Amino acid sequence: MTQTLLSFGHGYSARALTKLLSDDWRIIGTTRSEDKANALMAEGTEPRIWPGADLTPALNAATHLLISAGPNEDGDPVLGQLRGEIAARRDQFEWVGYLSTTGVYGDHQGGWVDEDTPLTPSTKRGQMRVEAEAAWRALDLPLHIFRLAGIYGPGRGPFAKVRNGTARRIIKDDQVFSRIHVDDIAQVVAASIAHPNPGAVYNLCDDDPAPPQDVIAYAAELLNLPVPPAQNFEDADMTPMARSFYAESKKVRNDRIKDELGVKLLYPDYRAGLKSLLAVETGGASQS
């Protein structure tokens, strides 16, 4: 029996997921642009340019929903337009997934957080995610929330900036970030689809929270290029958006994806992930 995934904001992480789903799946993905729609079609996904397209037939067919579209000042964009239609079909869906962010936990000054840590976001983006999570929970769907750490993967690694000389090693005392390779996001979400647990919340991150400057340094070493010089955070010329990422420092625990879903990370730390990315980019063996 064909299962149908309706994926809102079918972008980087969702596209990685669909590579893991069998040919028995029908995938319908929304996007905002014609160019992206053509790219999705080439991958076997049925694109819908939305807002704009009538999604009623897709909703009627959907057995599974995935929401990657982020909230804005007006709230969650999917619920803003389709709350009633989704709520009316709550008994139809076998699984609903919402991709959120570990930013909902706020700043913990380098301390550890897990899925039971109170949500105390310190940025506007984090607060909007908390509100979006709550809005989705209120619909009484078979909802699964995935809180993603910093995402990297093919096309989203540090190598290009290191090569062109624009990479910076910004130093802020006790600053650590958790991160996750996109292929590990995909395998966790796929495992959840295979083993639904409505109401579950999962942190998606690797095993090794690390200072951002260490990641840049390791990328430079892999490329046999000079390690970019260190810059003090207080003195660095940064955009408000870039600076806001340094407003929070925490280490994120990921035990639940292992204990509950049986996930074994493909890339348990940034070193394994960067080696793999470089191997893909160069078409050869990674360096040790």
Provide the Cα torsion 90, 53, 30, 46; round to 10°. 100
pLDDT tens by residue, 206-230: 999 999 999 999 999 999 999 999 9
What's the rounded Cα separation, in Å, for the pair 148 and 131?
A: 16
Q: What does the longest C-alpha to C-alpha distance in the chain come to?
A: 59
In contact, 227 and 199? CB cutoff 8 Å: no
The domains found in the chain, sorted by start residue, are 3-152+179-207+251-266 (3.40.50.720)
pLDDT tens by residue, 233-275: 999 998 988 888 898 999 999 999 999 999 999 999 999 999 9
Report the 10 Å Cβ neighbour count for 98. 25
Kindly report the pTM of this predicted structure: 0.95
